[in-house]
Amino acid sequence: MLCWNVAKLTLNASYKKFTDLLIEEFDFDILLLQEVKKSLSHELELHDYSYILSPNIETKKHIFGVLSAFRASCESEISLLTKKQELKYTTHKISLITHHKLSNGKTLLVVNLHAINFVHNRDFKYELEYIYLAIKSHKEAMIVAGDFNTWNLKRVHYLQEFADSLSLKRVGFSDESNIKKIFANSLDYIFYRDLNLIYSEVIESKKISDHNPIIAKFGY
């Protein structure tokens, strides 16, 4: 799987060329993208993936939000708009929850999350609790990934509490210095449970986005 904040560059030729190369090399089953920009008049080109785009911003010509793309069928989807608005921009953030049937008969829950920014830490914690309430009843495999905007230690602590409450493990990377950071705190994470982590990597993309893609391969 690929997780990446693409910084609204999805209509740029350089982004498309880079993404095509990543898909060709790694053959992802799941793409989890944040800050996606899509024209209202055209669909995005995503090879043979089906995709769901949950918007949090709409203009006259474009929508922006999180996009989850899959090669496997999607059984159901839920979009969660944050209750709070960001103080500086009065915008909401959004998360997308999808369910996928695995070949072993069990169901994988996937959360593509772009956490709220520019709010008090207590509001950040409140929004994580809102997501927790939406997914806590799921008892099988789970992936929660995205840009968590964990730019201070209090937010990092709240995120760890959230992960612990769901028995989620954090994907580690040998090259974590390449993950986007603010004040030495990583913003992008992949968490999982009831899956076997086989491989993980951070991909250099400084010329495309201010975030680098993070990838993980799982077995079950």
- The pTM of the full predicted model, rounded to 2 decimals, is 0.94
What does the block give as tokens for 45? Answer: 């080109």
Indicate whether 90 pLDDT > 80.
no
pLDDT at 89 exceeding the cut of 90: no
C-alpha span between 131 and 139 (Å, rounded): 15
Summarised one tens digit per residue, pLDDT across range 15-29 is: 889 999 999 999 999
Identify the pLDDT of residue 118: 87
Position 208 scores a pLDDT of 84
pLDDT attached to residue 50? 93
Work out the pLDDT band at 162, boundaries 50, 70, 90: very high
**The pLDDT of residue 4:** 96
Identify residue 105 by its one-letter amino acid code. Answer: G
In this structure, are residues 98 and 68 in contact, taking their beta carbons and an 8 Å threshold?
Answer: yes
How high does pLDDT run on average in the chain?
93
**Selection from 81, 170, 89, 87 nearest residue 130 by Cα:** 81
> What pLDDT does residue 48 have?
86
What digits encode the pLDDT tens for the residues 170-186?
999 998 889 999 999 99
Work out the number of other CB atoms within 10 angstroms of the CB of residue 79.
17
Whether the per-residue pLDDT at 87 is higher than 80: the answer is no
Of the options 3.40.50.970, 3.40.50.1360, 3.30.160.110, 3.60.10.10, the CATH number for the domain spanning 2-219: 3.60.10.10
Question: Residues 6 or more apart from 144 whose CB is under 8 A from it?
Answer: 110, 111, 113, 135, 163, 166, 168, 190, 191, 192
Choice among 11-15, 80-84, 141-145, 157-161 with the minimum mean pLDDT: 11-15
Across 77-92, average pLDDT? 87
Residue pair 143/109 in contact by the 8 Å Cβ criterion: yes
Residue-level pLDDT at 83: 87
